Structure 1
Amino acid sequence: MTSTEHPVIAGVDGSSTGRDALDWAAREARGRGLGLVVVHALQPARRAGQEAQRREAEELLTESVRRVNEIAPGLRPTTLAPLDFPAAALTALSRAASMVVVGSRGLGGFRSLMLGSNSLATASMARCPVVVVRGGRPDEEEEEEEYPKGLQDVVAGVAADESAEPVLEFAFEAAASRPGARLRIVHGWTMFSSMLSGGPVFDREAAAGSAERTVAELTAGRREDHPQVEVVMEPVNGSASHTLVAASATAGLTVIGRRRGGESLGLGLSPVAQTTLTHARGPVAVVPA
């Protein structure tokens, strides 16, 4: 099986954000021509409670398949109910997935928290991109379009180094699957980052130009592969977090990178990634980078 054949995995738990994640995953799988696997983890419990869990899981997965058939007819999703904790199950399945899609908060989470522990753990540890979906925006509630007008754009936050490559690859593919979508590339730079990369140290204009050239070089080949995608470069002097959070309010998807090798809660997320994931207004894709 090649990477392009790997399915989209949607984690569901019966919560409203879980249903939003399922809807998003179904549309994304159809748009990319991929399969969809709907997953509900059966958390380890005493024997007396296992049978009740299985019945609830069967009902939830049956309802999820019905919902997908309405949203994306012909997709024919499959289902799984592994006996494991949610983040652990999704992380294991991510090894053979194109992406994992989860809701921002599941059942039992504190309403004051903007991001649930399972979402954060999955985004930190998964081996493929993880998309965290929040609840529907007011202007999307009655929207019937696959990608609502004005919310097609993909925003990608990248650094001016090789870590940008997997982020850009995912972002270009996402933009290409959305008719009329632009790809807005936000790249932050500072004099310190310029110094670390061996670039100009005291000349701000030269440092900005150096960062912009590096990102342009990284995107060149992908522009040729996806000529239909309009690319907009948005350089930011300083932290890109504020810009990415603001941009997410009017974007169909915001894409950020994650350091490789995250092995425990939060360790795989940079400060920019964690801030964006926590405060973004729309779906956020966290890409191992």
Structure 2
Amino acid sequence: MTVHAPHITVAVDRSRYADDALAWATGQAERRHVALRILHAWVPMTAGTHDARLTTAQHILARAQTRAYDLAPDLDVTTLAPADLTGSALSTESRHTRLLVLGSRGRGGFRGLLLGSTSLTAAATADCPVVVVRRRSTQDERQRSADVVVGVDAGEPADALLDFAFEEAATRPGARLQLVYAQSMGASAWTGGRTPAPDDVTADLDQVLGAATAAWSAKYPEVEVIRQPVHAAPAGVLVDVSARVALTVVGRKLTGSLLGLRLGPVAHAVLLHAHGPVAVVPF
């Protein structure tokens, strides 16, 4: 079920990636009518650097708070400067916020790497949903719709994932929810089964998706749902669609240890290659 904490948290540093995350989080808090908390973690390496590092952290937070007010003058904005490693601070904060927003790469990232280790780790381990914001070009912004797309496992539809996706679409004027379940036509052959006819698979998947979302459609009747059973690799479909929508949503199981970080291969691939913001929802 969606976390209903009183605020959204965005982590900032002095990078342009953090600026993108701040702008996205500010708009999100305004749409959801909740407060915004801006976080910057810092670590005093030696006793002599304590005051200087704290001053730098306060300066970063003050700049970010001013920018948030410029974007949304009536928003309730607070700041937090924990003296802690960034990963540890984000982990702690994820237990107290409804949503954690991060840039795709911080100042410590490698040139050309689309997703920094801090963002990847937070997306894979946080207790709350995490949104990783990736900058788009002006042309990308003009081409995208307000829609939200969510990748769903029809064999194991997750309430938390659907709740988040439907609520996201409901907060965005004119947004539809594109519900994607992608399956390779040859998947059953790997287990010794026959390869089904495309029309049979489409009909079966559409029926499963309709049943999985009936309760959420009743809860959010204003959200138009587009069910898209497709016959392709799930990650590739979601990455392709991410270029044309406002937000791509994927799930992450709270149990298990896929890729060492409880992050499945589809979510991992979407985080690495998506063309816009990605939300990772634990369930």
Counterpart selection for 2:196 from 198, 203, 209: 203
SS at match of 1:105: coil
Q: How far does the alpha carbon of each residue in 1:164-210 deviate from its partner, in whole angstroms, 9 at most, with x for none?
A: 322211111111000001111111234687799xxx96534444433
Q: Summarize deviations over 1:143-171 as a string: whole Å, max 9, x none.
A: xxxxx784311111111033432221111
CA deviation string 1:31-85 (max 9, x = no partner) = 0111111000113522222221111110111111111111111112111111221
Deviation larger for 265-274 or 66-75? 265-274
Q: CA deviation at 1:23?
A: 0.7
> 1:45 — aligned with what?
45
Secondary structure at the counterpart of residue 10 of structure 1: strand
Q: Give me the whole-angstrom Cα distance separating, in 2, the residues matched to 1:241 and 1:265.
A: 15
Equivalent residues of 1:125, 1:263 under 8 A apart:
no
Whole-Å separation in 1 of the counterparts to 2:282 and 2:82: 24
The amino acid across from 1:17 in the alignment is Y
Following TM superposition, the consecutive aligned residue runs of length 4 or more in structure 1 with deviations greater than 6 angstroms are 191-196, 262-265
Find out whether 1:237 has 2:220 as its counterpart.
no
1:225 is aligned to 2:244: no
Partners of 1:124 and 1:265 within 8 A in 2: no
**8 A contact 2:150–2:165 mirrored in 1:** yes
Aligned counterparts of 1:258 and 1:287: Cα–Cα separation in 2: 6
Q: Percent same amino acid at aligned positions?
A: 42
5 Å-filtered alignment, 1:132-147, equals 132-139=132-139
Residue 6 of structure 1 deviates from its aligned partner by 3.0
Q: Distance in 1 between matches of 2:220 and 2:250?
A: 20
**Contact 2:8 / 2:35 at 8 angstroms: preserved in 1?**
yes
Distance 2:162 2:187 in 1: 20
Contact 2:143 2:244 in 1 (8 A): no
Task: Supply the AA of the counterpart residue of 1:109.
Answer: G
Evaluate the alpha carbon distance shift between residue 202 and residue 245 of structure 1 in structure 2; reply closer, same or farther with a 3 A threshold: closer
From 149, 152, 155, give the equivalent of 1:155: 149
Distance in structure 1 (CA, Å) of the matches to 2:258 and 2:188: 30
Q: List gaps (5 residues or longer) in structure 2.
A: none
State the match for 2:10 in structure 1: 10
Partners of 2:37 and 2:230 in 1: CA distance: 38
After superposition, the CA RMSD in angstroms is: 2.4
Instruction: Tell me which residue corresponds to 1:79.
Output: 79
Q: Aligned partners of 2:27 and 2:143: how far apart in 1?
A: 15
Which segment drifts farther, 24-33 or 165-174? 165-174
The equivalent of 1:144 in structure 2 is none
Matched, 1:258 2:261: no
CA 1:246–1:203 in structure 2 vs 1: closer, same or farther (change >3 Å)? Answer: closer
Q: Secondary structure at the match of 2:95?
A: helix
| CA gap 1:85/1:163 in 2 versus in 1, 3 angstroms | farther
Structure 1 residues 262 and 111, CA gap change in structure 2 (3 angstroms)? farther
Q: What's the CA shift for 1:108? A: 2.2
Query: Is the 8 Å Cα contact of residues 36 and 75 (structure 1) preserved in structure 2?
Result: yes
Correspondence 1:23-102 to 2 at 5 A: 23-102=23-102
Residues paired across the two proteins, number:
279
Distance 1:3 1:217 in 2: 24
Task: Report the TM-score when normalising by structure 1.
Answer: 0.89
> Alpha carbons of 1:97 and 1:67: their partners in 2 closer, same or farther (altered >3 Å)?
same
TM-score, normalising length: structure 2: 0.90
Q: Which residue does 1:166 correspond to in 2?
A: 160
Instruction: Name the SS of the counterpart of 2:84 in structure 1.
Output: coil
Matched-pair contact (CA < 8 Å) for 1:119–1:132: yes
Distance 1:140 1:239, change over 3 A: closer
Q: CA deviation at 1:137?
A: 2.1
The whole-number CA distance in structure 2 between the counterparts of 1:232 and 1:276 is 20
The answer to whether the Cα contact below 8 Å between 2:182 and 2:231 also exists between their aligned partners in 1 is: yes
AA paired with 1:176? Answer: A
